A and B are shown apart, each in its own frame.
Chain A
Amino acid sequence: MRRKEKRLDCLRSGVDLCFAKSGEGLRGFFIVVAFLGVACGVAHAASYDDFARGVSANLQGDPALAVTSFSAALAAGDLNPTLLPAAYRGRAIAYLRQGQCKSAVGDLNEFIRLKPGDVQGLELRSNASSCAGDYSAAESDLTELIGMRQERGVYWSRGRVRWRLKKFAAAADDFMHVAQLDPKDAYAVLWLELSRARGGLDPGTGEQVLREIGNGGWPAPLIRMFAGEAKPEDVASAASRGDADKVANQQCEADFYVAEWWLARKDVASAKPLLDAAAEKCPKNFVEYDEARFELSTLK
C-alpha cells in the first residue's frame, strides 16, 4: 500500500525516510518517514542518501543492506570524492561481516589506493587477506603497519599470521615484542613458547610472567609444559580445577595447546583428536577455536 503524500526523496536507514512537502509545519518543510517499501518504493535516492544509508546499516548490524547501499552509492558515479574512501571502507566492513573476504580485499585495495598508508585500511586489509587465506599479503600489510606504529595488537596479529605461515622463528620474534610491551600478558608468552616449540627453537622459562600470574594460575601449566616442566597430564589435571565456566574454557585451551605440543613433536595422531575437541567445544570468540580449525584444515 502506498501513502498519498507527495514525496520528494526517500532514504532508508533501517527505517525509510522520505522527504516530502507539506502544507503545514514550519516553512512547509517536512521529513516524513515510512516503512521500507511502502512509501518509498519507487522514489529516486541520490548517491549521498545511499551512502548515508550504508553507514547507518553498518552501525545497526545489517551488512546486507550496507553492501546494497554502498554499492548503489558507488555505482551512481556522483558521490562526493571525499566520501569515496569511506564508501569502499564501509562496503569492505560489510563484506567482511558476511564472510565475503575477497570482495573485502578488493574494496580495501581501492580504499588504500585513495588513502595510501592509511592505518585502518592496512589493518582491515590484513584481516580481509587472512580471512581470504592470503597470509603473505596479510603479513605484508602488518609489516607496513608496524613500520608506522609499534603496538602490541599489531605484533600479535602479525605473530599469528606468521604462525599460520609456519614462519615460527619470525612469529616467536613478534610474540616476544608483545611480551616486552605487556609483561603481564601470559598468552603472549604462551604463544612465544608455542612458536619456539613448533620451530624447534630452545624454549624459554616464562619465568617473568609466571611470577606475575603465579605458578598455580591459569595458563601457567601450559607455559610450564612448553618449558619442559610439566606434562600434558598435569595440564589436563589443572584445567579441570575451578568453577564450571572456567573449567570449560580451560579445557578448550588445554586441548588446543596440548595438541600444539604434540605437533611440535611431529605426533599428528595424538594432536588430531585434541584439535577436533577444541574446534568443537571452544567458544567461537576464542583464538583457540580459530586456530584449531586452521590446524585441522592443514592436516587434511
Chain B
Amino acid sequence: MRNLRRAALALAAVLGLCAPCVASDDKPCGLVRAASVEMSVDPTGRPNVPLSIGGQTFNLLVDTGGVDSMLSDKTVEALGLPKMPLQYAYVVMFGGLKIDHNTIARDIDFGGLKAEKMPFLVTPAPMSDGVSGILSNDVLRVYDVEFDFANARFNLFLQDHCQADLAYWTTDDHAEIPFTLSNIGHIEFLVELDGQSIRAVLDTGAFRSTLQLEQAEDIFGFKDDDPALKTIAKSSRGNVSKYPFKTLKFGGVAVSNPDILLFPRREIALPGRPELILGMDVLRQLHLYIAYKEKKLYVTAASAH
C-alpha cells in the first residue's frame, strides 16, 4: 500500500506539473489555480466532479475522508482496464468492506490537469447512480483544495505560494481552523460537542455526520436505554440512533441541534477512527479552502462573497 500511495503521490505531482497554471492575479507569489471544474451534487448531496479517462468523462465523488482514489468495478470493466491484486495490504472502507485490487487508468484530464496514467483502487461497493468512482487524498493532499458549493466550483491550487490569507473570495470575516493531517491524509481537528472536546475528521464523502455509539456513550454518559436515544434504523450489527445533541462548535463555527447519526462500532468497522465524522450536512453550508501544506482550513458561509 505504501508503494501504491507513493506512486499515486508522484502521479498527482505530475498532474500538478502539467497544469496550465493560470494565475488568479498578477502578484508574484499569489495563488495559482491548477484546475477548476464544475461541482455537482449526487442524490445524497455529496460533491461530484468530472474526470476524463481516455476521452470519456466520469463523475467522481470528492472524498476528503477516503484514502486513495478509486474507480467502481463497473467503470473498470466498462473501460476494459486490468484489475491487479494489491500485494501487501488492503483498504477497509466504512462498513468493513475490503478493497484489494487496483488498476491503472490512462490519458487522464482533470479540469486541464493531465496525466498519462493514474492508479486507482477498484471498489466493489455500490455507488450513487451516475457516480463512477472517488477522488481522494492521494490527489487532493498535494494541492490546496477549495469547495465553493454555492458557485458549484471545485478548485485545486498549487501549494507553492506565499499568500497568507487564503480566504481570497471574501473581504468579510472568516474562520481559520488549524488541523492535523493523519497518516492517511485525513483532516482532523478538535470540535466541541455539548461542551466535550472530541476529535473530528472533515469528510466530504459522508452525507451525514456520524459518531460511534459506544464512544458517544462513554463521552456523554448516556446508556443504550436512555429515553433520549432514538433508534432510526436497525441492522444485523446493531441499531443506528440519534441523540439530541445541543451544540457543535469548531473554530468559530457553531451549529445548534446538529443532526448526528450514532453508529455501533461493529457497523462502522474501522478501528482508530476519530470520534466524529463531520459530513456534508454541515459542510455544504460552508465555503471551504483546505491549505494542506499549512494545515489550515479557511471557512465562510457558503454564500459569502
Question: A residues near B, CB below 8 A?
Answer: 8-9, 11, 13-17, 19, 21-22, 25-35, 46, 48-49, 52, 55-56, 58-60, 80-83, 85-86, 89-90, 93, 118-120, 123
B301 touches A33 (CB 8 A): no
A21 touches B173 (CB 8 A): yes
A17 touches B173 (CB 8 A): no
Q: List 13 A-B contacts (CB under 8 A).
A: A9-B301, A14-B259, A16-B256, A26-B177, A29-B172, A31-B255, A31-B301, A52-B149, A59-B44, A59-B45, A60-B259, A80-B151, A85-B40
Binds A, one of B26-34, B103-111, B186-194, B245-253: B245-253
Cross-chain contact of B281 among A13, A46, A118 (Cβ < 8 A): A13
Chain A residues whose C-beta falls within 8 Å of the C-beta of B44 in the assembled complex = 59
A120 touches B281 (CB 8 A): no
Chain A residues whose C-beta falls within 8 Å of the C-beta of B43 in the assembled complex = 89-90, 93, 120
Chain A residues whose C-beta falls within 8 Å of the C-beta of B256 in the assembled complex = 15-17, 32-35
B175 sits at the interface (CB 8 A): yes
B20 sits at the interface (CB 8 A): no
B302 sits at the interface (CB 8 A): yes
Cross-chain contact of A82 among B152, B253, B255, B285 (Cβ < 8 A): B152
A26 touches B257 (CB 8 A): no
| Complex A-B, nearest 7 residue pairs according to Cβ-Cβ distance, in ascending order | A33-B256, A82-B152, A120-B129, A48-B150, A26-B252, A15-B257, A55-B45
Cα(A118)–Cα(B48), bound, Å? 15
Chain B residues whose C-beta falls within 8 Å of the C-beta of A49 in the assembled complex = 285, 302-303
A27 touches B173 (CB 8 A): yes
Main secondary structure of the interface of B (DSSP, over half): loop
Cα(A118)–Cα(B129), bound, Å? 9
B207 touches A59 (CB 8 A): yes
A46 touches B150 (CB 8 A): yes
**Contact flag A48-B302 (CB < 8 Å), given A26-B251, A56-B281, A83-B41:** yes
A30 touches B281 (CB 8 A): no
**From residue A60, how far is it (CB to closest CB) to chain B in Å?**
6
Chain A residues whose C-beta falls within 8 Å of the C-beta of B252 in the assembled complex = 22, 25-27, 29-31
Interface residues as binary, B107-144 with A (CB distance below 8 Å gives 1, 0 otherwise): 00000000000000000000001100000000000000
Chain A residues whose C-beta falls within 8 Å of the C-beta of B176 in the assembled complex = 26-27
**From residue A200, how far is it (CB to closest CB) to chain B in Å?**
38
B281 touches A119 (CB 8 A): no
Cα(A48)–Cα(B148), bound, Å? 11
Cross-chain contact of A123 among B129, B207, B254 (Cβ < 8 A): B129
Cα(A73)–Cα(B281), bound, Å? 18
Cα(A119)–Cα(B176), bound, Å? 40
- The residue among B43, B149, B172, B176 with the most chain A CB atoms within 10 A of its own CB is B43
A19 touches B301 (CB 8 A): yes
Cross-chain contact of A118 among B39, B130, B300, B301 (Cβ < 8 A): B130
**Contact flag A27-B303 (CB < 8 Å), given A14-B259, A59-B45, A80-B151:** no
- Nearest to A25 among chain B residues (CB) is B252
A28 touches B301 (CB 8 A): no
Chain A residues whose C-beta falls within 8 Å of the C-beta of B71 in the assembled complex = none
- Nearest to A89 among chain B residues (CB) is B43
Chain A residues whose C-beta falls within 8 Å of the C-beta of B300 in the assembled complex = 29
